[in-house]
Amino acid sequence: MKADTPALHPDRLFPADAATRDIARQLYGTVAKLPIISPHGHTDPSWYADNQPFPDPAALFIKPDHYVHRMLYSQGIRLEDLGIRRLDGSPVETDSRKIWHRFAENFHLFRGTPSWMWLTHAFAEVFDLTERLSAANADKFFDRISECLQKPEFRPRALFEKFNIEVIATTESPLDELKHHRKVRESGWKGRVVTAYRPDPVVDPDFGGFAKNVVELGRMTGCDTATWKGYLEALAKRRQYFKEVGGCTSTDHGHPTARTADLPEADAAALFARVRNGGASAADAELFRAQMLTEMARMSLEDGLVMQIHPGSWRNHNPVLMERFGRDMGCDIPTATDYVSMLKPLLDRFGNERDLTIILFTLDETAYSRELAPLAGHYPALRLGPAWWFFDSPEGMRRYRELVTETAGFYNTVGFNDDTRAFLSIPARHDVARRIDCGYLGRLVAEHRLDMDDAFEVARDLAYRLVKSAYKL
């Protein structure tokens, strides 16, 4: 393809077979413009609260997106040269144009990846840059994007509306005061931005500063977090605060494993006493996280918050980058995850509750058909999240549908979850998901496994209705 050839083909991601592709096109035509429900992500709530212009193309596309700098780092490009700030304050590149050129010169590294499609979609659909990014046109892209970012129609709230986002959920620590969410609510703007309750800093003994975080939790709530009872009371209070101030409808739990436990109260209190000062053994830390998943499920049954469990990531796997740049720099690596035995204590207690929704995600793709689909296809409390993180690629999404549908069906899944820090990739990610789902449904129709009228209804459910219902949005 020549450099000036439009990069986005209208039939991208549809099946190659002509008859199936035609069905997919028809289905996609009914869902392409549906509103976006973004139920869990990591975009910065201050964008919507302050509505300030994005600073420059590098700050918009490169610095917040660990998909981007992870790939560049894998090819020997230093994060300092991408303008990523170091914890020790050492110098990093501050010239955004130089950073952009480095990115453009290496854009070929993203060939065949979902990042290439997301980025190209944003360039074309948001900034009308329909040619392929390269070193030769890097300045053209930089200047065009920079010029656009100074206009009112490219500020966060305007883009939120342009993207047809109905609601977006950010993710905050229970120690967050939610001042940005309060500001959005008090501004009178009609855009709906809610928070999700991510308690990891105060329920994971291996989280940096855990002991201090527990003390701060007590200060914020007026509860005695030196006791097991007071600690649980404080967590419940923060959940209620998140509901009232941030419009929260869900919690999110990023534990290393899916292990759960259901200890007698005295044993749980003794375990908490061992871990609260930060000196817990590895076994104690794992058991405490396991107990806290069950406690969070109990609280969700009481307060109605949807529970999301994201296990199986060896977070911050690269200690050098962790030391230099801190958490969440793209160094999280999937691990094998056991769900059947690990979730059993929680499911024994709460799995049959029809008023509880627990959405399971995985980084272990092999678990979809072997464990997750059978679990979600049986327990009323369980639903399956879509292909997440490393599996939010077209191939991952196709395999997800193939692996889970025969056992869990469509209605024990919850639509699409974009899970991103990169705001401009949100519509691109949803477009990819809608195209892949329509292609999958088109194949079922072509193989006479699904009627066309049912396919139209399922396409709309997968794109919009299931996620809205599951997350109570």
* pLDDT tens track for 343-384: 999 999 999 999 999 999 998 988 999 999 999 999 999 999
Q: How confident is the model at residue 387 (pLDDT cuts 50, 70, 90)?
A: low
Q: Which fold has domain 18-54+152-470?
A: TIM Barrel (3.20.20)
**What gap in Å lies between CA 125 and CA 148, rounded to an integer?**
13
Tokens in use for 324?
A: 């230099």
Residue extent(s) of CATH 1.10.2020.10 domains in the chain = 55-151
The CATH classification of domain 55-151, taken from the options 1.10.2020.10, 3.90.1330.10, 1.10.3720.10, 3.90.870.40: 1.10.2020.10
Q: What local confidence, expressed as pLDDT, does residue 5 receive? A: 54
Residue extent(s) of CATH 3.20.20.140 domains in the chain = 18-54+152-470
- Compute how many other C-beta atoms are within 10 angstroms of the C-beta atom of residue 393: 18
Residues 6+ apart with CB under 8 A from 51: 155, 156, 157, 189
pLDDT in tens, 48-95: 999 999 999 999 999 888 889 899 999 999 999 999 999 999 999 999
Partners of 167 in the β-ladder: 37
What distances in angstroms separate CA 124 from CA 55, 127, 149, 427, 428, one per listed residue? 20, 6, 15, 12, 10
Q: Is 209 helix (H, G, I), strand (E, B) or coil?
A: coil
Q: Is the separation of the CB atoms in 408 and 384 below 8 Å?
A: yes
Tokens in use for 177?
A: 């005061």
Q: Does pTM top 0.75 for this prediction?
A: yes
DSSP state of 247: -
Integer-rounded Cα radius of gyration of the chain: 23
**What gap in Å lies between CA 377 and CA 362, rounded to an integer?**
16
In terms of C-beta density within 10 A (0-12 exposed, 13-18 middle, 19 or more buried), how is residue 250 classed?
buried
